[in-house]
Amino acid sequence: MSAPRPVLGVGVLGAGTVGSQVIRILQSSREDFAARSGAEMEVRRVLVRNVDAPRDAPIDRELLTTDPAEAIDNMDLVVELIGGIEPARTLVLRALNQGISVVTGNKALLAAHGPELYEAAASNGADLYYEAAVAGAVPVVYGLRESLAGDRITTVMGIVNGTTNFILDAMSTKGLSYEDALKQAQDLGFAEADPTADVEGFDAAAKCSILASLAFHTRVGIDDVAVEGISSITKEDMEEAARVGHTIKLLAIAERRIGEDGREGVAMRVHPAQVPSDHPLASVDGAFNAILVEGEAAGRLMFYGQGAGGAPTASAVLSDLVAAAHHRAFGGHAPRESVYAHLPILDPGSTHTRYQIRLQVEDRLGVLSDVAGIFARHGVSIQSVHQRNDEVPGACVIVVTSHRAREADLRAVARALSVSDAVREVTSTIRVEGE
């Protein structure tokens, strides 16, 4: 009765944890995918570095190739899951320049070369999809790019890195030190041997810039994000947070607001922060990701799910593939890069946040007044002060939490405290968000 379904050739670049799941599911649910996209998808070649390497899921050996041309040229769709900048960039461009649609999970590539890839896609009539690059299975790229296309977004705030979330979780619930929690994450496969990209916040910053581009229709890069990692968070910071009913999370925050020159702009930052325990992000555990989005009309939305792992990430890749396949077979195309707003990047120092500063001070009369004076001189008002004796004789601990103030002024307060005679040591400064 009906016309035979078109058959689309799919080349997969990379057969690691995610790639092998993508291939497995594409093959095992072939009929489902055909019914949903209206076209058959056939994995025709899988690019690997070594055809003899062990795989997470078995792959038909004759699909494997080490020649990029075989896995890209003459395909209808290409899935890039190699990661990193090169050779991923060259291969993705090779596909797009031939008009082949690309689905990628490569956040580093997008954060560094997004505009170039978008332009190659648009000028060759190809789709570029990348749901899996931001938060694993969580459909936040879809959400921002399509579901919220009818709204003006003001804030995106999320937990987008599972490694750091696992570490902070272990510190908070098991009372581990940062070093022990990191070791545990490494032992369980949640952290790399070299954890720098995760724990220093670079992975979250790349994702933050992708989310901000989508939310604010503006080109931003990873270098526009003010980044601070979690490696200086201590057990004591966790205890202090718990004392006030808070927990510590690594947040990626992108905001649209009026800058100090009166113009609207975008500010982006990644840093650990205390959040109240009843905040929606506080209960996001382990390897889960969650992204809060505030729209002028929609109000607050949250997207929540698994941020990493072979199958969850494959789920995101496959949805993108269904959409790209549908366009290939029946016309239409993915949303192009939308950067019409061209908002300026705001100075991170002009961001408003709150600090909790923990100090070791001399145990003498008047020291609190000295400390409070430093806050006042920088125009920062204090919300609460908590004082207790320290284990060190002659010293006590003061924990000061500010009201919302300019980041630059808060930093100036911390600097002034560190050189004040009244203060022995600024033990910790941490931001407080979500109140």
Which residues bind to a copy of itself, rule: CB under 8 A?
21, 25, 29, 32-33, 35-37, 131, 137-139, 142-143, 146-152, 217, 278, 280, 283, 295-306, 309, 311-312, 314-323, 326-327, 330-333, 335, 338, 340-341
| Dihedral pair phi/psi, residue 65, rounded to 5° | -150, 155
- Minimum Å gap between C-beta 102 and a copy of itself is 16
Pick 148 or 205: Cβ nearer a copy of itself = 148
Q: Is position 79 annotated in a ligand binding site?
A: no
Q: Is position 15 annotated in a ligand binding site?
A: yes
Burial class (CB in 10 A: 0-12, 13-18, 19+), 421: exposed
Pick 114 or 136: Cβ nearer a copy of itself = 136
d(CA 426, CA 398) in angstroms, rounded, equals: 10
- Minimum Å gap between C-beta 139 and a copy of itself is 3
- Minimum Å gap between C-beta 414 and a copy of itself is 34
Residues 6 or more apart in contact with residue 407 via CB below 8 angstroms? 348, 349, 350, 351, 352, 353
d(CA 104, CA 84) in angstroms, rounded, equals: 11
Q: How many CA atoms within 13 Å lie on the side-chain side of 432?
A: 27
Q: Is position 107 annotated in a ligand binding site?
A: yes
Pick 138 or 182: Cβ nearer a copy of itself = 138
d(CA 224, CA 153) in angstroms, rounded, equals: 19
Q: How long, in residues, is the chain?
A: 435
Q: Is position 250 annotated in a ligand binding site?
A: no
Distance between alpha carbon 349 and the CA centroid of its chain, in Å? Answer: 21
d(CA 395, CA 392) in angstroms, rounded, equals: 6
- Minimum Å gap between C-beta 300 and a copy of itself is 6
- CB 241 within 8 Å of CB 217: no
Pick 2 or 369: Cβ nearer a copy of itself = 2
E strands along 197-263, which residues?
Answer: 225-227, 246-258
Q: Is position 221 annotated in a ligand binding site?
A: no
Residues labelled catalytic:
207
- Minimum Å gap between C-beta 203 and a copy of itself is 20
d(CA 203, CA 168) in angstroms, rounded, equals: 16
Q: Is position 16 annotated in a ligand binding site?
A: yes
Pick 338 or 353: Cβ nearer a copy of itself = 338
Annotated binding site for L-homoserine: 192
Annotated binding site: 13-20, 107, 192
| Residues of each annotated binding site for NADP(+) | 13-20
